[in-house]
């Protein structure tokens, strides 16, 4: 429907200044109707062949045109086969148009202009509302999963309102975001998941979804721009691809009212088999016995932690048989069936002079972890007015308010018990029951998961998005367009870490309140030109864009709560207020934009774009960046020799080359900054300032530039088989790296441009309409994409970069030449040390204790052998230097999938429709952070049964380390903690039935049901292989940090249209 | 129509030009212009001290890395977090920006900044710029002194913009820089800092620190050549010390002579600036904060930003505002004589396992006649497996002579607390060590007796002139006096005793489910593991310390 509107709009603009016609012509009029529904076609083009005279049909499908006898009138409309009629005697010509059997020629919105898809020289994919709504997504990105080739969409975790990361054509940054640029109705959106997240907790890695404010129902279509000719126009923000979001507009015809309601039920798909209460107690006893025997040679039977008899204190000490929890006890306490309700009301219409669309929606989503949820009220209004022929204006307003009840889930910490609700539920000893009300301090060193679930953790988001435009037709074909947009997003967060949580325990409860405020103002001024001269068509855009962003955040926290009855809401109850903190940042971007597209005979196409971005964020020596691109296309099917081919209905070959950038730098990112560094002398705190350890400044810092080649083929064969193929090679230079500095410099990191990465890959999309009859349709489709990521250069600097520590010294990710971003690096195992002889005779041992033989009996050394060697993991000494050092590490995994794939089937028969979508990734690794704890056998945490079953024992050996309580155990990062993350998911299955005119007053009713994530095929031992704790951070993807598990959902809904 | 287009064209051009101007950034960040601002000199120096109040040092890691890895420390394995078990690589901070290695270099970086910029400061109203210079040098020396003892030779960065790649200097080169800084500092610093200057470095502190530096060099030079007696779980064993790397060509007597001279000089100022407190109960506890025996310490207050997680909280026992995680071993406590106030008032004699335990107080030591009833008037309980850590009262902020238990879990237990780094009494202990090595063992015993008499421990009264015995007595006296004052591990290391003593001790009993903590150490534990960023990024650094 949108196509009709757009065509109409475009034609209106083109026709605005047509000439006064000659008088010796005949007035021809008539109706244009569609063949299938016999409904009038609004806005169809009525052109006199070989001239520039023409008109369009009105709201009733009627037209009126002056024509000479013998002239040919061509009626055309998007998605319909064109009809030609000669002017004869009859002044009335009625036309019935047939639906085009070839691919509908969409109008796609590319940067700063609208183009017919068939005229594109670049790689652009479109997903319509009906498609992404099939899964009833809460946020539209979720609905795109599996629907686009080359686009990897991962829900970071299953938390309601949680972040979703979208990655197009691989990773081309070390640390800049991998998120594409989002553009709503032509205006770039600057907020990001991380700037929207109020973070009180350095270890927490859960992100909010910055796009959650958009109700997917309000979105008409989503276009994804992938290659350089499409993205270069977005300059320094285009290199991760661009996602263009078009919101719904009113359509001509009767005013429409739509009402939709749906409910869904979600449940965590699987649970992990841990130790039961009794098994856990046995395990702890065994740990005690082993540890005592190894360190002291004896053990005190009375000292068993779960003795099951009268203990040394004269009281009964519980034994294993006194505990009856099942292995899922704590998981069952935190998980529940989550119910989501979603309502939306839409009201839209249009008249001669404009259109309107209004949407109102309410969402109330409960999470599968108790006490978590997300609710949103959103309002969307879009108006377009055309008071006269030369002026058009309009605006979009979107207001939304969202409330999140959050739960601390994924954390990067591995040490101290602040590991979030999911890992706590796994680690928390199964000897405790809810009614025991056990806290952190009963020696188990794990926070009670229920305490996490009960902790106050609320987030409120207010989002206002407004954009206004005015188009003025200056002369024929030339339009001046000005767009002014303002958007603002405010997040308020309140959090309380009670004394029962690790985080609040030592400080007597900690209450935090904070907010972030983002404001963006955009002002674009553009000249748009479109002209046809015979066989030549030229369209061009020239203009400027100015953008200003403001960011402000503040946080206050206070500690020391005597009473916790107010859950920390009342900050002044805390006895120990801490220094408030705030951040203020401003940035401006000023750009020149130029785009020109030329086509000859609708057969040869050439597009050139150029953007100059001058950004305040860029370093002093590099304030402006230039991004040119070029695209060419050829349609062989428009040539005479293929014109009437039955086999190839439409063929287009495309090639594009160009650059786009990734600014990747925050405001002030290039400047040397100082940080407050106070100190209390006597009784006064004096102010001090020190060079910021992570901001030494780099005056040469610049954006990252991506050079992309893309060659593509679009084909429609046999009138029903659509095929798209793209092959691309992207080289990204000047990658920004938060380059670590040697700690002895006193600085930690500095931003620097180092290195080059290459992504190359190919994408296939195929859709085949097997049956395409009036009452029955069946189509199948799918996509497949491969991407190969390779760091080709790291410049003159370090040849090995460890982009970040996940925790402590474990730095599983490495960036090094010849390896991808996302390469995992670590040690190689060689079994377990089984015997004293094996240890003593090994070169590793001999290096530390030269000359020690099997017959030697030094007590201290014997003890070390028992503690540190036997029953512990044997690491391969790869360089054979006799000791295990950094240099014994190797490349041991890769978190990048080797390919992504999806396939779908759509079937409809009369009012009934059915669709199914599978998608999968293959060949990627996942780091399972929980297993780092699990494999450290002997500590006071619960573990999975199979980990215990494989623990090393002197008599029988084993594949896991021995059960031994120590903190000095060397934990070497090996494949032990890495798992295959490949999966295939039944992403969505949906079935619906539409009643046309069930009642006189009602246009249609559709009832439907759908299921999401119903089946997952995977070898992963955690909850779900779809994990991405670190969100859009490109260099630490694929980590399961104890994130909120994804859920299986079943959804029922109804849509009523009046 | 034409008018419109002209106006709009002008407008859009205007929008272009007006915006390019605003591309210059003005960050909302302060402090970059201290040279020109009033108070700038003070701000540069204050920022150096600020590093102490980070989790990498006084808030947490300093205790775990410096004071839990020796024979007298007793704490469960999770409290010591790897570092206290001789394996820095499993400590929570290793390789992160919170690694103590980074923190000490951050002190050095800020000190270098101050040392270079103080002479440029234009503020003429501040007449303490000279003193600030001394403070910066003192702090730089303090940081290098820790680095060289923990990591061996390290890159010697003495200017703010030193090259990224820098090789490790030799141990003695680092010591030479420390000596130079402390000598220069002790000229310009005032002898004493008090009142609103408490926490600032002073001349007494600089000289005492320098004496400790010289003694470290002297003892390390002797290690490998001399014997030492150490009480291992109640049994005195004689050890031939191991040589300490880096000191092979050092003449110990030269350094010990300097120790003696410095200590003599400091002791002559006794009573003028700093002094010995008359008895043990006058040193510690809430009533004695910032007394005139405390020469220098990390200045704290009640704000969480300036409180230590460990001292009051981990180190004090339940139910004395603490958690009772880290204390001293049973055999370390056994070194105190019956009359020694450091044993009598220096530990909590009645402790509980937790606030929730309804059972009676446990008496420590398990002496029913001496400690029959707990503070609640109920008969005390015998020591059970759970009570094997002895908790010193040193960092308790109540009254150390009669500590007052609290009945409910205080939860928030951080308190205003200074971390005392240098005490006047050390002048006697260092002089005793020097006198013995300078062939005056009897004079050494005289100095020890000053310390012992104050503690009401029996004096030695020149009972022996055996150098080995006196050397051992000095070292033991340091352990008795400085328990939980960050010296014992370095004393073991500098005398080449660490591995032998630790492996002889084997394990000590602690609180917690593991019940013991191992003390056996591999040779690699002599030096800490350097963070990998240093090794990977600083091209000239070379390999990590042996075994890491």
Q: Which of A91-105, A355-369, A916-930, A978-992 is predicted least confidently?
A: A91-105
CA A383 to chain CA centroid, Å, is 30
Is residue B383's pLDDT more than 80? Answer: no
**Beta strand A581-600 with A624-634: parallel, antiparallel or unpaired?**
unpaired
With CA atoms as reference, report the closest residue to B352 among A508, A313, A309, A315: A313
CA distance A779 to A758: 36
pLDDT: is A1037 or A915 the higher one?
A: A915
**Rounded to two decimals, what is the model's pTM?**
0.80
Does A17 contact chain B (CB < 8 Å)? no
Q: What is the pLDDT of residues B316-373, one digit of tens each?
A: 888 888 888 889 998 999 999 999 999 999 999 998 877 766 678 888 888 889 999 9
Q: What is the pLDDT of residues B222-243, one digit of tens each?
A: 999 999 999 999 899 999 999 9
CA distance A361 to B295: 68
Q: Which two tokens stand for residue B359?
A: 């059972």
Top residue of A302, A563, A743 to mutate, by most chain B CBs within 10 Å, is: A743
Is residue A14's pLDDT more than 70? Answer: no
CA distance A165 to A207: 10
Q: Above pLDDT 70, what percent of chain A? A: 93
Is residue A883's pLDDT more than 50? Answer: yes
Q: Which of residues 64-83 of A touch B (CB under 8 A)?
A: none
Q: Above pLDDT 90, what percent of chain A? A: 33
Q: What is the DSSP string of B30-68?
A: --TTTTTSTTHHHHHHHHHHHGGGSTTTTTTHHHHHHSS
Q: Which of A995-999, A1013-1017, B396-400, B513-517 is predicted least confidently?
A: B513-517
Q: Which of A190-194, A661-665, B85-89 is predicted least confidently?
A: A190-194
pLDDT of residue A19: 35
pLDDT of residue A443: 58
Would you call A863 and B518 a contact, using CB atoms and an 8 Å cutoff? yes
Chain B residue at shortest CA distance from A747? B106
CB-nearest partner of B411 from A499, A587, A808: A499
Work out the burial of residue B234: count CB atoms within 10 Å of its CB; fewer than 13 is exposed, 13-18 middle, 19 or more buried.
Answer: exposed
Work out the burial of residue B359: count CB atoms within 10 Å of its CB; fewer than 13 is exposed, 13-18 middle, 19 or more buried.
Answer: middle
pLDDT of residue A323: 92
Q: Which two tokens stand for residue A987?
A: 């992403």
pLDDT of residue A560: 86
Q: What is the pLDDT of residues A374-388, one digit of tens each?
A: 999 999 999 989 888
Instruction: Assign A6 a pLDDT band (cuts: 50, 70, 90).
Output: very low
Instruction: Assign A1009 a pLDDT band (cuts: 50, 70, 90).
Output: very high
CA B144 to chain CA centroid, Å, is 13
Q: Which of A7-21, A652-666, A774-788 is predicted least confidently?
A: A7-21
Q: Which two tokens stand for residue A618?
A: 């860029």
Is residue A859's pLDDT more than 90? Answer: no
Would you call B162 and A623 a contact, using CB atoms and an 8 Å cutoff? no
* Residue range B70-82: mean pLDDT, rounded: 86
Does B313 contact chain A (CB < 8 Å)? yes
Would you call A499 and B19 a contact, using CB atoms and an 8 Å cutoff? no
As a whole number, the mean pLDDT across chain B is 89
User: Which backbone phi and psi does A912 adopt, to 5 degrees?
Assistant: -95, 135
pLDDT of residue A21: 38
pLDDT of residue A980: 94
Asked if residues A262 and A341 have their Cβ atoms less than 8 Å apart, the reply is yes
pLDDT of residue A505: 79
Top residue of B13, B27, B512 to mutate, by most chain A CBs within 10 Å, is: B27
Would you call B544 and A585 a contact, using CB atoms and an 8 Å cutoff? no
Could you tell me which residues come within 8 angstroms of residue B132 by beta carbon, excluding any fewer than 6 positions away? Answer: B41, B42, B44, B45, B114, B118
Is residue A557's pLDDT more than 50? Answer: yes
Q: What is the pLDDT of residues A707-753, one digit of tens each?
A: 999 999 989 888 889 999 999 999 999 888 877 789 999 998 888 88
CB-nearest partner of B16 from A590, A617, A968: A590
Is residue B110's pLDDT more than 90? Answer: yes
CA distance A118 to A786: 25
Positive or negative, the CA dihedral A102, A104, A109, A115 is: positive
Does A885 contact chain B (CB < 8 Å)? yes
Top residue of B508, B517, B520, B544 to mutate, by most chain A CBs within 10 Å, is: B520
Q: What is the pLDDT of residues B480-512, one digit of tens each?
A: 999 999 999 999 999 999 999 999 998 888 865
Is residue A705's pLDDT more than 50? Answer: yes
Q: Which two tokens stand for residue B407?
A: 């009945």
Q: Residue A715: beta bridge partners? A: A651, A723
pLDDT of residue B19: 47
CA distance A911 to A897: 39
**Residue B23: its chain A contacts at CB < 8 A?**
588, 590, 614-616, 618, 623
Q: Which two tokens stand for residue A663?
A: 């600014």
Q: Using N-to-C axis directions, what is the helix angle for B129-151 and B40-50, rounded to 10°?
A: 20
Asked if residues A303 and A458 have their Cβ atoms less than 8 Å apart, the reply is no
Does B513 contact chain A (CB < 8 Å)? yes
Does A390 contact chain B (CB < 8 Å)? yes
pLDDT of residue A13: 40
CA distance A162 to A207: 6
Assembly ipTM: 0.93
* Residue range A230-237: mean pLDDT, rounded: 85
Q: What is the pLDDT of residues A922-935, one digit of tens each?
A: 999 999 988 888 88
Place of tokens 């798992």: A979
Instruction: Assign A1002 a pLDDT band (cuts: 50, 70, 90).
Output: confident
Could you tell me which residues come within 8 angstroms of residue A574 by beta carbon, excluding any fewer than 6 positions away? Answer: A509, A510, A511, A558, A559, A560, A561, A568
Within 13 Å, how many C-alpha atoms sit on residue A363's CB side? 27
Does B62 contact chain A (CB < 8 Å)? no
* Residue range A150-169: mean pLDDT, rounded: 82
With CA atoms as reference, report the closest residue to A506 among A516, A497, A496: A497
Would you call B109 and A746 a contact, using CB atoms and an 8 Å cutoff? yes
CB-nearest partner of A745 from B29, B164, B195: B164
pLDDT: is A411 or A361 the higher one?
A: A361
CA distance A366 to A387: 46
Q: What is the pLDDT of residues A492-516, one digit of tens each?
A: 999 999 888 888 877 888 999 999 9
Instruction: Assign A29 a pLDDT band (cuts: 50, 70, 90).
Output: confident
* Residue range A603-626: mean pLDDT, rounded: 88
pLDDT of residue B33: 81
Would you call A867 and B95 a contact, using CB atoms and an 8 Å cutoff? no
Top residue of B4, B21, B69, B90 to mutate, by most chain A CBs within 10 Å, is: B90
Is residue A194's pLDDT more than 70? Answer: no
Q: What is the pLDDT of residues B238-274, one digit of tens each?
A: 999 999 999 988 999 999 999 999 999 999 999 999 9
As a whole number, the mean pLDDT across chain A is 85
Q: What is the pLDDT of residues A373-425, one digit of tens each?
A: 999 999 999 998 988 888 889 999 999 999 989 888 877 776 666 788 888 89
**Beta strand A45-48 with A478-497: parallel, antiparallel or unpaired?**
unpaired
User: Which backbone phi and psi does A942 adopt, to 5 degrees?
Assistant: -75, 155
* Highest mean pLDDT: which range of A231-235, A487-491, A554-558, B495-499: B495-499
Q: Which of residues 418-477 of B touch A (CB under 8 A)?
A: none
Is residue A17's pLDDT more than 60? Answer: no
Positive or negative, the CA dihedral B93, B98, B104, B105 is: positive
Would you call A684 and B25 a contact, using CB atoms and an 8 Å cutoff? no
Cα distance from B493 to chain A (closest Cα, Å)?
18
pLDDT: is B540 or B6 the higher one?
A: B540
Asked if residues B279 and B286 have their Cβ atoms less than 8 Å apart, the reply is no
Could you tell me which residues come within 8 angstroms of residue B317 by beta carbon, excluding any fewer than 6 positions away? Answer: B324, B327, B348, B351, B352, B391
pLDDT of residue A276: 94
pLDDT of residue A10: 43
CB-nearest partner of A863 from B24, B82, B506: B506
CB-nearest partner of A742 from B50, B533, B543: B533
* Residue range A291-307: mean pLDDT, rounded: 84
Would you call B515 and A288 a contact, using CB atoms and an 8 Å cutoff? yes
Would you call A674 and B32 a contact, using CB atoms and an 8 Å cutoff? yes
């Amino acid at each position: 429907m949108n196509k009709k509107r757009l065509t109409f709009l475009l034609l209106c603009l083109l026709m605005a200044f047509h000439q006064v016609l000659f008088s010796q012509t005949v007035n021809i009029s008539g109706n244009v109707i569609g063949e299938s529904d016999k409904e009038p076609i609004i806005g169809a083009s009525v052109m006199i062949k070989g001239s520039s005279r023409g008109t369009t049909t009105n709201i009733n499908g009627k037209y009126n045109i002056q024509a000479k006898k013998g002239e040919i009138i061509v009626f055309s409309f998007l998605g319909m086969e064109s009809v030609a009629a000669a002017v004869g005697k009859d002044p009335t010509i009625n036309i019935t148009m047939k639906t085009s059997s070839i691919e509908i020629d969409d109008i796609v919105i590319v940067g700063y202009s609208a183009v017919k898809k068939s005229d594109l020289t670049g790689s652009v994919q479109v997903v319509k509302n009906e498609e992404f709504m099939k899964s009833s997504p809460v946020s539209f990105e979720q609905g795109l999963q599996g629907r686009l080739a080359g686009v990897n969409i991962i829900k970071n975790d299953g938390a309601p309102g949680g972040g979703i990361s979208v990655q197009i054509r691989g990773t081309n940054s070390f640390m800049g975001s991998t998120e594409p640029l989002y553009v709503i109705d032509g205006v770039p959106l600057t907020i990001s998941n991380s700037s929207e997240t109020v973070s009180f907790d350095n270890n927490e890695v859960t992100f909010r979804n910055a796009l959650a404010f958009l109700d997917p129902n309000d979105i008409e279509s989503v276009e994804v721009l992938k290659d350089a000719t499409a993205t270069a126009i977005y300059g320094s923000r285009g290199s991760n691809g661009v996602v263009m979001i078009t919101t719904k507009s009113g359509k001509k015809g009767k005013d429409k009212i739509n009402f939709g309601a749906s409910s869904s039920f979600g449940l965590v798909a699987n649970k992990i088999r841990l130790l039961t209460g009794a098994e856990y107690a046995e395990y702890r006893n065994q740990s005690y016995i082993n540890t005592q025997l190894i360190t002291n040679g004896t053990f005190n039977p009375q000292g068993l932690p779960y003795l099951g008899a009268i203990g040394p204190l004269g009281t009964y000490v519980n034994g294993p048989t006194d505990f009856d929890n099942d292995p899922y006890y704590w998981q069952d306490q935190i998980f529940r069936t989550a119910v989501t309700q979603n309502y939306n009301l839409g009201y839209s219409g249009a008249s001669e002079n404009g259109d309107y669309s209004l949407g109102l929606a309410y969402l109330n989503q409960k999470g599968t972890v108790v006490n978590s949820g997300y609710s949103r009220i959103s309002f969307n209004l879009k108006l377009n007015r055309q008071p006269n022929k030369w002026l058009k204006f309009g605006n979009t307003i979107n207001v939304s308010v969202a409330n999140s009840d959050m739960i601390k889930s994924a954390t990067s910490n591995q040490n101290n018990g602040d590991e979030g609700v999911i890992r706590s539920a796994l680690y928390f000893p199964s000897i405790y029951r809810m009614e025991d009300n056990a806290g952190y301090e009963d020696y188990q060193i794990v926070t009670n998961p229920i305490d996490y679930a009960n902790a106050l953790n609320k987030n409120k988001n207010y989002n206002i998005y407004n954009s206004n435009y005015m188009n003025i037709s200056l002369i024929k074909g030339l339009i001046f367009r000005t767009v002014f947009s303002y958007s603002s997003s405010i997040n308020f967060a309140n959090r309380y870490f009670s004394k029962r949580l690790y985080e609040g325990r030592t400080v007597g409860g900690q209450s935090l309140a904070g907010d972030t405020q983002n404001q963006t103002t955009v002002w674009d001024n553009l000249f748009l030109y479109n002209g046809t001269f015979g066989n030549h068509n030229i369209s061009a855009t020239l203009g400027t864009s100015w953008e200003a962003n403001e960011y402000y955040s503040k946080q206050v926290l206070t500690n020391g709560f005597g009473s916790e009855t107010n859950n920390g809401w009342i900050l002044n109850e805390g006895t120990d207020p801490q220094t408030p903190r705030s951040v203020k940042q401003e940035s401006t971007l000023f750009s020149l934009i130029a785009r020109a597209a030329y086509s000859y005979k609708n057969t040869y196409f050439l597009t050139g774009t150029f953007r100059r971005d001058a950004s305040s964020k860029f370093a002093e020596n590099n304030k402006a960046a230039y991004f040119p691109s070029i695209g060419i296309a050829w349609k062989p099917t428009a040539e005479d020799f293929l014109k009437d081919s039955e086999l190839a209905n439409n063929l287009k070959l495309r090639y594009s080359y160009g650059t786009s950038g990734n600014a990747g730098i925050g405001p002030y990112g290039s400047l040397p900054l100082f940080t407050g560094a106070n100190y209390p002398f006597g009784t006064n705190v004096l102010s001090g300032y020190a060079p910021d350890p992570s901001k030494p400044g780099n005056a040469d810092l610049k954006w990252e530039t991506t050079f992309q080649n893309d060659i593509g083929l679009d084909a429609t064969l046999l009138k029903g088989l659509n095929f798209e193929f793209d092959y691309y090679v992207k080289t990204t230079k000047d990658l920004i790296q938060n380059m670590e500095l040697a700690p002895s410099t006193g600085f930690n990191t500095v931003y620097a441009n180092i290195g080059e990465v290459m992504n190359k890959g190919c994408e296939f999309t195929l859709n085949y309409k097997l049956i395409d009859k009036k009452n029955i349709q069946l189509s199948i489709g799918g996509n497949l994409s491969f991407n190969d990521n390779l760091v080709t250069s790291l410049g003159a600097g370090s040849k090995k970069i460890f982009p970040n520590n996940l925790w402590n010294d474990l730095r599983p990710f490495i960036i090094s030449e010849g390896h991808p971003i996302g390469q995992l690096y670590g040690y190689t195992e060689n079994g377990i040390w089984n015997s004293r002889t094996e240890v003593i005779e090994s070169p590793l041992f001999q290096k530390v204790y030269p000359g020690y033989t099997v017959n030697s009996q030094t007590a201290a050394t014997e003890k070390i052998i028992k503690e540190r060697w036997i029953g512990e993991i044997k690491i391969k000494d790869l360089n054979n230097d006799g000791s295990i050092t950094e240099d014994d590490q190797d490349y041991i995994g890769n978190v990048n999938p080797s390919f992504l794939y999806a396939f779908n089937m759509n079937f409809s028969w009369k009012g009934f429709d059915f669709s199914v979508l599978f998608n999968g990734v293959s060949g990627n690794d996942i780091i399972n952070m929980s297993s780092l704890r699990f494999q450290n056998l002997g500590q006071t945490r619960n573990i999975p049964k199979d980990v215990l079953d494989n623990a090393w024992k002197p008599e029988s050996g084993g594949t896991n380390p021995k059960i031994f309580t120590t903190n000095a155990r060397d934990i070497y990062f090996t494949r032990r903690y890495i798992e295959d993350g490949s999966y295939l998911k039944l992403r969505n299955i949906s079935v619906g039935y539409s009643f046309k005119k069930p009642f006189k007053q009602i246009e249609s009713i559709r009832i439907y049901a759908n299921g999401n994530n119903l089946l997952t095929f995977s070898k992963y031992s955690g909850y779900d292989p779809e994990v991405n704790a670190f969100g859009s951070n490109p260099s630490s993807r694929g980590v399961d940090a104890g994130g909120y598990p994804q859920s299986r959902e079943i959804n029922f809904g109804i849509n009523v249209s009046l | 129509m034409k008018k419109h287009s002209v106006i709009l064209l002008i407008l859009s051009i205007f929008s272009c030009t007006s915006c390019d101007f605003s591309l210059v950034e003005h960050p909302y960040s302060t402090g970059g212009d201290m040279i020109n601002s009033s108070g700038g000199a003070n701000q540069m120096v204050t920022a150096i001290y600020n590093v102490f109040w980070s989790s990498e040092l006084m808030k947490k890691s300093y205790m775990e890395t410096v004071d839990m890895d020796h024979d007298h420390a007793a704490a469960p394995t999770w409290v010591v977090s790897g570092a206290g078990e001789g394996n820095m690589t499993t400590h929570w901070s290793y390789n992160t920006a919170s690694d103590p290695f980074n923190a000490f270099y951050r002190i050095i970086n800020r000190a270098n900044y101050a040392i270079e910029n103080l002479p440029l400061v234009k503020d003429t109203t501040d007449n303490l710029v000279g003193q600030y210079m001394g403070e910066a040098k003192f702090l730089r020396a303090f940081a290098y002194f820790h680095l060289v003892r923990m990591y061996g030779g390290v890159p010697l960065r003495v200017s703010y913009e030193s090259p990224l790649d820098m090789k490790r200097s030799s141990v003695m080169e680092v010591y030479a820089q420390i000596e130079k800084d402390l000598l220069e500092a002790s000229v310009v610093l005032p002898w004493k800092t008090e009142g609103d200057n408490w926490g600032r470095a002073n001349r007494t502190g600089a000289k005492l620190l320098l004496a400790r530096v010289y003694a470290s060099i002297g003892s390390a030079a002797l290690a490998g050549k001399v014997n030492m007696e150490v009480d291992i779980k109640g049994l005195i064993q004689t050890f031939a010390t191991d040589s300490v790397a880096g000191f092979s060509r050092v003449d110990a007597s030269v350094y010990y002579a300097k120790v003696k001279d410095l200590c003599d000089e400091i002791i002559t100022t006794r009573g003028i600036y700093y002094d010995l407190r008359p008895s043990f109960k006058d040193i510690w506890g809430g009533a004695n904060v910032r007394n005139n025996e405390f020469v220098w310490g990390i200045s704290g207050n009640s704000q969480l930003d300036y409180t230590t997680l460990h001292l009051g909280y981990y180190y004090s026992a339940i139910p004395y505002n603490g958690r009772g995680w880290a204390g001293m071993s049973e055999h370390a406590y056994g070194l105190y004589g019956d009359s020694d106030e450091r044993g009598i008032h220096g530990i909590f004699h009645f402790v509980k396992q937790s606030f929730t335990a309804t059972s009676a107080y446990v008496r420590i030591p398990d002496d029913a006649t001496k400690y029959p009833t707990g503070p609640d008037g109920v008969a005390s309980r015998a020591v059970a497996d759970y009570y094997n850590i002895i908790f010193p009262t040193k960092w308790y902020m109540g009254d150390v002579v009669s500590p007052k238990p609290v009945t409910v879990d205080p939860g928030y237990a951080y308190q205003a607390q200074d971390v005392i780094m240098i005490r006047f009494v050390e002048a006697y202990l260092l002089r005793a060590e020097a006198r013995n090595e300078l062939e005056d063992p009897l004079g050494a015993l005289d100095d020890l007796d000053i310390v012992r008499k104050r503690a009401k421990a029996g004096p030695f009264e020149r009972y022996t002139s055996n150098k080995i015995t006196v050397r051992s007595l000095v070292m033991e006296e340091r352990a008795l006096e400085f328990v939980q004052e960050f010296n014992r591990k370095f004393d073991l290391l500098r005398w080449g005793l660490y591995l032998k003593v630790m492996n002889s001790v084997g394990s000590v009993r602690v609180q917690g489910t593991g019940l013991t903590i191992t003390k056996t150490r591999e040779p690699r534990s002599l030096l800490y593991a350097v963070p990998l960023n240093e090794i990977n990024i600083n091209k000239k650094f070379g390999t990590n310390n042996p075994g890491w």
